[in-house]
Amino acid sequence: MALKRKVLLIILDGQPWRAARRLNGNLEGWAQSGHARVWKMRSVLPSTSASCYASIHTGVTPQLHGVYTNETLFRVQFPDVFSEVRAAGGKTGAVTHSFWSIFFNRAPWDFVRDIEYDDPEGPITHGRFHTMTGYGSNNQMTPSDADLFATLTMLTERFGIDYGILHTCTLDSMGHRYGHDCVQMDHAVAMIDGMLAHFLPLWLAAGYEVAVTADHGQSERGHHGGRSEDQQDVAFYWFGGGTGPAEHEVLDQLALAPTLLTRMGAPIPDTMKALPFLNGD
C-alpha cells in the first residue's frame, strides 16, 4: 500500500515566533516569494520540550499522555505519527534527540542498541539519534545542524522514507544560555537558517512536502514551560499543498499530527481529536 505523499517535519527546538519572523532570512524569503506559507502555532501547556514532543506526535495533551517534565521519560501509550504511518505501510525516519526514540519506539534508552537502528517493523524504521549527555549552559553538546540535515537527506535517499522528522536543540540551548536580545542568538539563527536553506530544496526536489516549526518558544530571558505568547507561540512554515486557514489564524499544536497524517493519506486514529488544518490537494 502506497501513501499519497511524503512529508518531512523539521523542528527547530525553542525558536519563538518573534525570533523566527525577524531572523529566519531564508525561510522568510521563501514565504515572501510565495514558495511557502507561514502561520502562528501555539504550543500545549506545559510549554516544556518533552511535553511538546509527545503532543506534537500524538495529538493529545500532556494531561492525557502524561509527559509533564523533561524528567518523565517513558514509552508513550498513544498512537502517534510514526505508528500510524507504519500501519499504513509507510517507512519512517528520525534524526532527533533520543527522547523521540524513548517516547515512540522503546524505553528505557540503551546507548548502543538505540543510537542508530534500521528496523523494518518500526514504529521508527530508520532512527539516527543523539542524547546531548552532559548538556549544560557552558557546554551545549549539540551536533552541528549541517550534520543533522545531511543525515536526514541520507535517509530520504538511501531508504526512501515516507515520513521523516528532524529535531535540533541548537537554538533552544543558545536561548537558555544567552537569552534572545543578543548578537550570539542573531548569529545562531542566521547560521541554522542558512544551513537549512542548503538542504531544503533537495527535499522538495525529491518530492517531499516540508514543515519547519518549533516545539515551543522562549521568553527574552530564555525560559519556557509556562503560559505566555513568548513561551508558547512558534512559526509554522509549510512548503506543500492543501487549503489552509486564514493567514491570521493561530494553529493548535495538537492539530499537527492529524494534519501530517492527512497529507500522507494515512488514517487518523480516534485519539487525535483536533481537526487537520490543511485539507484537499
Which of 5, 40 has the CB closer to Zn ion? Answer: 40
Q: Quote the cell numbers at residue 249.
A: 489564524
Determine the Cα–Cα distance for residues 106 and 44; give it in Å rounded to an integer: 24
CB atoms within 10 A of CB 137: 10
- Is the dihedral angle over the CA atoms 271, 49, 150, 185 positive or is it negative? positive
Which of 49, 253 has the CB closer to Zn ion? Answer: 49
Residue 236 and residue 40 in contact, taking contact as beta carbons nearer than 8 Å: yes
Select the residue interacting with Zn ion from 215, 235, 255, 266 (CB under 5 A). 215
Residue 129 and residue 198 in contact, taking contact as beta carbons nearer than 8 Å: no
Which of 7, 169 has the CB closer to Zn ion? Answer: 169
Which of 167, 263 has the CB closer to Zn ion? Answer: 167
Residue whose C-beta lies closest to Zn ion? 49
Determine the Cα–Cα distance for residues 36 and 25; give it in Å rounded to an integer: 13
Determine the Cα–Cα distance for residues 62 and 44; give it in Å rounded to an integer: 7
Length of the chain, in residues? 281
- Minimum distance from residue 169 beta carbon to Zn ion (Å): 7
Select the residue interacting with Zn ion from 49, 153, 156, 253 (CB under 5 A). 49
> Is 14 among the residues that bind Zn ion (CB under 5 A)?
yes
Q: Which stretch binds Zn ion (CB under 5 A): 41-49, 128-136, 157-165, 256-264?
A: 41-49
Q: Which stretch binds Zn ion (CB under 5 A): 44-52, 83-91, 104-112, 262-270?
A: 44-52
Q: Which stretch binds Zn ion (CB under 5 A): 149-157, 174-182, 212-220, 230-238?
A: 212-220
> Is 230 among the residues that bind Zn ion (CB under 5 A)?
no
Question: Got the DSSP string for 81-139?
Answer: HHHHHHHTT--EEEEEEHHHHHHHT-SS--HHHHSEEE-TT-SSSEEEEE--TT-BTTB
CA angle (101 as vertex; 156, 153 as ends), nearest 5: 15
Q: Which stretch binds Zn ion (CB under 5 A): 98-106, 116-124, 208-216, 236-244?
A: 208-216
> Is 172 among the residues that bind Zn ion (CB under 5 A)?
yes
> Is 222 among the residues that bind Zn ion (CB under 5 A)?
no
Q: Which stretch binds Zn ion (CB under 5 A): 7-15, 17-25, 86-94, 243-251?
A: 7-15
Which of 30, 99 has the CB closer to Zn ion? Answer: 99
> Where does this chain bind Zn ion (CB under 5 A)?
13-14, 49, 172, 215
